[in-house]
Structure formats: structure tokens, C-alpha cells
């Protein structure tokens, strides 16, 4: 099966044809860059679009070149760009302009992200709009609304099985409501992130319906095999994503008379991105959502979009070329829009999603720091941060124009992505450490403070992932049931320490709805037949507004946690050192329970100090002085408590304390 067309890169690009709507009497230059420039120049706002083309046009051509027939796709792309630019309303054009003066807007330390399901937060989109005050109170500047486009009926993987990219799920509202919400968020200095599911569509999406009805054009949008030969071959190297409830990667479909590629659930049909029509459809969808007010698109399961026999079909080179081309299109038509990669992959495979080598600075601006997330939980369970320092220390440099999305919990399970070599380097066995973490966070391990559950136990590989809220995983659920006040305070401090690492690493901290109120697991998810078999709903609770309304009551658990998390966001704002352009070094200088985040910024040195254990620890202040903190005064300023810290020879640090120090 020749799924890759990379060989095309070597051939000289054939001449570009003018689109039907363009003035076709002038022949176009054969160089696709010049041809694109010329086509843009013919539209009313030609000079502006040409200026943007000069900046991003080559990124587009280089992204397309290894995969598509440029003369065939470029005119369609240009037509789409011109149409989208034409329809872009004045307020969004103003946003484009503002962001061209502030291209690092998503890297600034004022960024505080929040992810929520609109219905679970406030019923629907208008409900979210009515509760923006709550987000302002928390200091939120970036809102990720979980999937809200029209999903299939019946099970839909929390909305990740999209039936229409141009309609909102009716229960949540309409496209106009979404646009109104985006305007209101913008007025509150909050940018809006939406999901773009591009690996698959729902089996009820029009493309799938038409493929099933036998339309050849749409059959080519998918992968379908008449017999098991190819699926069997592919499955030899494909991982199983949902071995419990959706084993295998292909699903027989009677109407298609074949095995359809379905990496995730049987009703999520993988798209064939080698087909230029699929690329052009998504280019249009991106610009459509940008014009509705999206500031950022979260590229769902982006690793999976390119298939190659003999591989795990994740992170193939074409994934990055396609992302580069899509981003260039977005930047030419709607420069205010950025991309965020959701690639939950092994640590050494993560950085290419922010751009490496030929794609440096040309793909997604943001990527989830899955590895930091895993390492925070690992360090907490083992009371040992050496593995974190080792794993993060091996991360290659990321582009200075990118930002990590740092997080402790999201709507998904935690996959224990610990690299065997990293584990061995600090004296662990990778397999048994992963097993320990899964058991620890389920609450099965002696001494565990966590209450979670296994998600997708794979008997063949021994892999088991974990579900649970941050509060349940940090011990708040257990402490509440024990009634022990001391235990409860320790658990609150533990949750705070986790979020202080997330907010104090650099990049955009992404708070998952409910964590700020220490919401524990929602065991009622089993009563909803649609998702009773998917325990990721354990950590997707609904917003309890009575609790939220008493969030300023510092005598309650939720009040304490809310005020602490809000304080992290407000403190971050004042620390330019947390701007994402600077990289973080992770050090464990002395005691494995003390971890340092060191950021050398032109504004001055920043050192985050975290005690990830439940006991008092001491460490030598000389280490901080040698890093450059304190100078002659031998004092640093600790921002979270707003006080001086004397850098004594021996510094004592309380259990789960988090200090953000500058000189």
C-alpha cells in the first residue's frame, strides 16, 4: 500500500492553474510561491494578503510539497483564504492586527487556562456567558471549551465523534450563541480554544453517510478494506487505544462492504489525509471556526492522522508537514488564530509537535506537556523527583515561539508514559514503576493517599491507565472520608503543590474544571448509559454552584483550594520569568524529595522550589546562592507568600511547600 507520497518532494512543481473565480487571462508564474502571491494580489485586499503570504506562503508550500499535488490544491486553498478573509468581521480583523503587534500573546505569564464542558459548567453556551465573572475571579485568560460541535447521536466519546463541523450541538446552543460567547470572552480578555477533531469523523457525518451510500468521492475520504489482509498486517504494529471497549483498529461495515479504519471507537472513522480533498475540507473548517471567534484550535489526536504500514501510525513526518501547511493557511487568513497539539506520546516524541528541524517554529504554537504531567504524579507517589529531572532534562530545545500547555489533570485518563531508559537511569524498572503508579493512584498500593481507577487494562502489554480527579488523586477524598483534619490539610497542601508546579513551570497552565474547588470523583457517571463503560467520566464532574458560590469561605476545603489556585494565577502575572520563551531546567540537587525549576530569564533568575513529600526537609541554601539567587544579601523573595527568604546554609522546607523565588 503506497500511503506515502513523500517522493513528490523531489519533482519540480508543475504550473498552477488559476481558480475559476480568478482572472484567468493572465498566465500564472510556474513557481507556486509566486503564483499564490499573484492570485492573492488580485483580490480587493490583495496588498494585505500578499504581505501575509510573504511571511507564511513558503511555510504553506513546503508543508504541502511532500504530500499533495500543489498545482491542484493551491488554487482551492487560495480561494478559501480569500473568501474567509472577506467574511472576517471587523472585530476579528482588529484582533488580527493587535496580535501582529503582540505575537507572543499566548506565551505571556498572564496566561491562565481553564478547560470545561459547557453543559457541565453551566448548562449551555449562554450559561457560560452568564458566568464569565467566575472565570475572571480565577484569573482565567484562556478558555478551552470541550467538544461542542454537533456530535453523533448515541455514544460520542464526549463529543469527539463529530457529525458536523459547522453546527453546534443543539443542546448547547447555536453557532450564533458560540459567536456571541466568543465576543463576550474577548471583551473580558479571555481567548477561546475549540477542539478540531481531524483524525476521524463520526460514522453519522455527511462524508461517512455518502461513503456508505456508495459515492466514490467520499469513500476516498476513509480507509476501507474488502478483506482482513491489510487490517491484519496493520494491526501487527498498531497500538490498541481502547482495548476494553473498542478492541482492534478496524470495524466491519455492511454498507461499505469492508473493514473501515477506526483507531478509537467503532463509530469514529479515520480520515485519509493523503486525499487532498480531506486537507481542503479541513482548511475550510479551520477558517470557518476562526471566523466564529476561535483563537486557538486544539488539534485532537493529531499524532494519528498519517498512516504508514509497519509503524504505529503515530507522529509520521507527514503529520508535521500537514500541520505546518494548515497553520500557514490560518495565519494568512486569520492571523489571530493559533494551534495547540494534543499528542499524548512518549517523552522523546513530544517535541516535534512544537516544531523541530525543518518545522521549527512552523507547527503548533502550543502542545500539552504530557511528560511533565506524568512526572509530577510519579514524583509525588514515589516522593522522589529524580526521574522527573532525568526525563525532563533530556528534552530537546523547543522553539522560542512556542509554549507548553502545563497541566495536572484533563478530561482524559493518565497514561503512564515513563521511558524505560529514563527509569533505568535512576535505578527503577520502567515496567514495574508504571505498574506501581497505576496501582498507587487506584488506591491499591499500601500507603497510597489516592482514590482513582484503572482505565483500559491491557492484559497483553500490562499497560493500565488511570482515571480520577486531582482532588481524589492527591488524597482529599480519602482524608474527607477519614474525618482526620491533619490528613485533610496535608492533602490540600499536596494539591496546592501539584498546581504550584503546573503554574510555576512556564507556559500556559491549564486548569481542569473542578480542580479549583477540589471536586472529588463523580461516581454517578455509571448511571448514564451513554458513557457508563467509560470511567474517564469519574473526573468530569458537573459544577456544583452552591459550593462555587461559597468559594470565598476559607473555612471550607473548596474555599481554601479556590483561593490558593486563584492566588497562583494572580502571582504568575507579576513574574515575567514565567514567559514561555524561556526553558525550564529541572534539578534535584540534594534530597530526592526537593525539586527545583530553574528559569534563567533576562528579567532575572527564577527558581521554583517544591517539597514533594509529606515530611519536613532541609537543603543547603548554598545551592540556591550558587545558582545566582540572593547576591550579597543572601536573601531571595518568595512570591507566593510575599516574603523574604534567607538563604541560610541549611534551609528547612515544610511538607508540600511550594516557593517561587526570584533574586
The minimum distance between CB 422 and ligand GLC, in angstroms, equals 23
How many angstroms separate the most distant Cα atoms in the chain? Answer: 82
The footprint of ligand GLC on this chain (CB under 6 A) covers a number of residues equal to 10
The minimum distance between CB 371 and ligand GLC, in angstroms, equals 16
The residue (of 342 and 493) whose beta carbon lies closer to ligand GLC is 342
The minimum distance between CB 161 and ligand GLC, in angstroms, equals 7
- Is 534 among the residues that bind ligand GLC (CB under 6 A)? no
The answer to whether 557 and 492 have CB atoms below 8 angstroms apart is: yes
* Pairwise CA distance, residues 58 & 100, whole Å: 19
- Is 160 among the residues that bind ligand GLC (CB under 6 A)? yes
- Is 158 among the residues that bind ligand GLC (CB under 6 A)? yes
274 grid coordinates: 493523503
Among 68, 165, 223, 264, binds ligand GLC (CB under 6 A): 264
* Pairwise CA distance, residues 269 & 254, whole Å: 14
The minimum distance between CB 310 and ligand GLC, in angstroms, equals 23
* Pairwise CA distance, residues 559 & 439, whole Å: 30
The minimum distance between CB 536 and ligand GLC, in angstroms, equals 7
Burial 358-397 (b: 16+ CB within 10 A, else e): ebbebbbbbbbbbbbbbbbbbbbbbebbbbbbbbbeebee
The residue (of 342 and 384) whose beta carbon lies closer to ligand GLC is 342
Among 49, 112, 125, 301, binds ligand GLC (CB under 6 A): 301
Sequence-ordered strand ranges (E) for 310-372? 338-341, 366-368
The residue (of 301 and 543) whose beta carbon lies closer to ligand GLC is 301
The residue (of 305 and 645) whose beta carbon lies closer to ligand GLC is 305
The minimum distance between CB 264 and ligand GLC, in angstroms, equals 4
The residue (of 96 and 463) whose beta carbon lies closer to ligand GLC is 463
The minimum distance between CB 372 and ligand GLC, in angstroms, equals 17
- Residues constituting the chain: 663
- Judged by CB under 6 A, the chain residues 315 through 354 that form the site for ligand GLC are 342
* Pairwise CA distance, residues 447 & 445, whole Å: 6
The minimum distance between CB 421 and ligand GLC, in angstroms, equals 25
The minimum distance between CB 453 and ligand GLC, in angstroms, equals 16
The residue (of 265 and 474) whose beta carbon lies closer to ligand GLC is 265
Q: Which stretch binds ligand GLC (CB under 6 A): 99-107, 152-160, 419-427, 429-437?
A: 152-160
For the chain, the distance separating the N- and C-terminal CA atoms, rounded to the nearest angstrom, is 60
The residue (of 411 and 496) whose beta carbon lies closer to ligand GLC is 411
Name which of 424, 449, 436, 390 is nearest 613 in CA terms: 449
- Is 157 among the residues that bind ligand GLC (CB under 6 A)? yes
Residue whose Cβ sits closest to ligand GLC: 160
- Judged by CB under 6 A, the chain residues 590 through 619 that form the site for ligand GLC are none
Non-local (6+) Cβ contacts of 159 within 8 A are 146, 147, 148, 149, 151, 169, 195
* Pairwise CA distance, residues 601 & 603, whole Å: 5
The residue (of 49 and 322) whose beta carbon lies closer to ligand GLC is 322
- Is 197 among the residues that bind ligand GLC (CB under 6 A)? yes
- Is 145 among the residues that bind ligand GLC (CB under 6 A)? no
Non-local (6+) Cβ contacts of 313 within 8 A are 234, 237, 238, 263, 304, 306, 307
653 grid coordinates: 522546607
Q: Which stretch binds ligand GLC (CB under 6 A): 2-10, 21-29, 154-162, 223-231?
A: 154-162
- Is 299 among the residues that bind ligand GLC (CB under 6 A)? no
The residue (of 218 and 264) whose beta carbon lies closer to ligand GLC is 264
Spell out, one character per residue from 633 to 652, where the chain touches ligand GLC: x when CB under 6 A holds, - when not: --------------------
- Is 282 among the residues that bind ligand GLC (CB under 6 A)? no
The minimum distance between CB 399 and ligand GLC, in angstroms, equals 23
Q: Which stretch binds ligand GLC (CB under 6 A): 25-33, 153-161, 433-441, 587-595?
A: 153-161
- At residue 534, the 3 state secondary structure works out as coil
- At residue 350, the 3 state secondary structure works out as helix
The answer to whether 302 and 319 have CB atoms below 8 angstroms apart is: yes
Backbone angles phi, psi at 91, to 5 degrees: -65, -35
> Cell 503543590 belongs to which residue?
497
Spell out, one character per residue from 382 to 421, where the chain touches ligand GLC: x when CB under 6 A holds, - when not: -----------------------------xx---------
The residue (of 250 and 597) whose beta carbon lies closer to ligand GLC is 250
Contacts 24+ apart (CB under 8 A), 399-402: 399/354, 399/355, 399/360, 399/361, 400/361, 400/581, 401/103, 401/104, 401/107, 401/361, 401/365, 401/581, 402/107, 402/354, 402/355, 402/361, 402/364, 402/365, 402/366, 402/367, 402/580
- Is 313 among the residues that bind ligand GLC (CB under 6 A)? no
Catalytic amino acids?
300, 342
Burial 232-250 (b: 16+ CB within 10 A, else e): eebeeebebbbbeebeebb
The minimum distance between CB 378 and ligand GLC, in angstroms, equals 21
- Give the gyration radius of the chain's Cα atoms: 25
Among 96, 177, 300, 365, binds ligand GLC (CB under 6 A): 300
The residue (of 96 and 300) whose beta carbon lies closer to ligand GLC is 300
Backbone angles phi, psi at 251, to 5 degrees: -130, 130
Sequence-ordered strand ranges (E) for 186-308? 191-197, 200-202, 224-225, 250-253, 258-261, 268-270, 296-300
Give residues in contact with ligand GLC (CB under 6 A). 157-158, 160, 197, 264, 300-301, 342, 411-412
Amino acid at each position: 500500500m503506497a500511503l506515502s507520497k513523500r517522493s513528490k518532494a523531489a519533482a519540480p512543481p508543475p504550473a498552477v492553474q488559476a481558480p475559476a473565480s480568478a482572472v484567468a487571462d493572465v498566465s500564472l508564474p510556474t513557481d507556486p510561491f509566486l503564483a499564490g502571491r499573484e492570485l492573492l494580489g488580485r483580490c480587493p485586499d490583495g496588498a494585505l494578503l500578499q504581505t501575509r503570504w510573504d511571511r507564511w506562503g513558503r511555510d504553506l508550500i513546503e508543508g504541502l510539497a511532500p504530500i499533495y499535488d500543489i498545482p491542484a490544491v493551491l488554487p482551492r486553498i487560495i480561494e478559501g483564504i480569500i473568501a474567509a478573509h472577506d467574511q472576517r468581521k471587523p472585530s476579528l480583523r482588529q484582533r488580527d492586527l493587535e496580535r501582529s503587534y503582540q505575537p507572543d500573546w499566548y506565551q505571556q505569564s498572564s496566561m491562565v487556562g481553564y478547560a470545561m464542558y459547557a453543559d457541565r459548567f453551566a448548562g449551555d453556551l449562554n450559561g457560560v456567558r452568564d458566568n464569565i465573572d467566575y472565570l475572571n475571579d480565577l484569573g482565567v485568560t484562556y478558555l478551552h471549551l470541550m467538544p461542542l460541535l454537533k456530535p453523533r447521536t448515541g455514544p460520542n466519546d464526549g463529543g469527539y465523534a463529530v457529525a458536523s463541523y459547522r453546527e453546534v450541538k443543539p443542546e448547547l446552543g447555536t453557532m450564533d450563541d458560540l459567536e456571541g460567547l466568543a465576543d463576550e470572552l474577548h471583551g473580558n480578555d479571555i481567548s477561546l480554544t475549540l477542539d478540531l477533531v481531524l483524525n476521524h469523523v463520526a460514522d453519522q457525518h455527511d462524508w461517512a453517510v455518502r461513503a456508505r451510500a456508495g459515492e466514490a468521492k467520499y469513500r476516498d475520504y476513509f480507509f476501507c478494506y474488502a478483506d482482513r489482509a491489510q487490517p491484519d498486517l496493520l494491526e501487527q504494529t498498531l497500538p490498541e487505544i481502547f482495548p476494553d471497549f473498542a478492541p482492534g483498529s478496524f470495524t466491519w461495515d455492511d454498507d461499505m462492504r469492508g473493514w473501515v479504519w477506526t483507531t478509537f471507537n467503532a463509530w469514529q472513522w479515520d480520515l485519509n489525509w493523503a486525499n487532498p480533498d480531506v486537507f481542503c475540507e479541513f482548511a475550510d473548517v479551520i477558517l470557518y471556526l476562526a471566523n466564529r471567534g476561535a483563537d486557538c484550535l486544539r488539534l485532537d489526536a493529531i499524532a494519528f492522522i498519517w498512516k504508514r504500514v509497519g509503524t504505529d501510525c503515530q507522529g509520521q513526518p507527514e503529520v508535521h508537514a500537514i500541520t505546518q501547511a494548515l497553520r500557514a493557511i490560518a495565519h494568512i487568513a486569520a492571523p489571530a488564530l493559533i494551534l495547540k497539539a494534543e499528542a499524548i506520546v512518549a517523552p522523546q516524541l513530544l517535541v516535534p509537535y512544537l516544531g523541530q528541524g525543518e518545522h521549527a517554529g512552523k507547527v503548533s504554537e502550543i502542545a500539552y506537556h504530557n511528560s511533565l504531567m506524568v512526572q509530577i504524579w510519579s514524583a509525588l507517589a514515589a516522593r522522589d523527583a529524580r526521574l522527573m529531572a532525568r526525563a525532563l532534562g533530556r528534552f530537546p530545545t523547543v522553539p522560542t515561539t512556542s509554549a507548553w500547555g502545563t497541566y495536572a489533570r484533563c478530561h482524559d485518563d493518565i497514561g503512564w508514559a515513563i521511558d524505560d531508559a529514563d527509569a533505568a537511569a535512576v535505578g527503577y524498572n520502567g515496567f514495574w514503576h508504571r505498574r506501581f503508579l497505576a496501582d498507587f493512584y487506584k488506591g491499591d498500593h499500601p500507603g497510597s493517599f489516592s482514590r482513582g481507577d484503572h482505565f483500559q487494562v491491557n492484559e497483553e502489554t500490562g499497560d493500565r491507565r488511570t482515571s480520577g480527579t486531582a482532588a481524589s488523586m492527591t488524597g482529599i477524598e480519602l482524608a474527607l472520608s477519614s474525618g482526620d483534619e491533619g490528613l485533610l490539610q496535608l492533602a490540600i497542601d499536596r494539591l496546592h503543590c501539584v498546581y504550584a508546579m503546573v503554574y510555576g513551570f512556564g507556559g500556559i497552565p491549564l486548569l481542569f474544571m473542578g480542580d479549583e474547588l477540589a471536586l472529588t470523583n463523580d461516581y454517578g457517571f455509571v448511571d448514564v448509559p451513554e458513557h457508563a463503560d467509560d470511567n474517564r467520566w469519574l473526573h468530569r464532574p458537573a459544577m456544583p454552584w452552591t459550593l462555587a458560590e461559597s468559594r470565598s469561605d476559607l473555612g471550607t476545603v473548596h474555599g481554601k483550594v479556590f483561593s490558593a489556585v486563584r492566588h497562583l494565577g494572580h502571582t504568575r502575572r507579576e513574574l515575567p520569568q514565567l514567559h514561555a520563551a524561556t526553558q525550564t531546567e529541572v534539578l534535584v540537587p540534594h534530597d530526592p524529595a526537593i525539586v527545583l525549576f530553574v528559569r534563567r530569564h533576562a528579567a532575572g533568575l527564577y527558581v521554583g522550589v517544591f517539597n514533594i513529600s509529606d515530611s519536613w526537609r532541609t537543603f543547603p541554601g548554598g545551592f540556591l546562592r550558587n545558582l545566582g539567587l540572593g547576591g550579597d544579601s543572601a536573601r531571595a523573595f518568595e512570591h507566593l507568600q510575599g516574603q523574604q527568604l534567607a538563604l541560610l546554609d541549611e534551609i528547612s522546607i515544610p511538607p508540600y511547600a511550594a516557593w517561587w523565588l526570584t533574586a
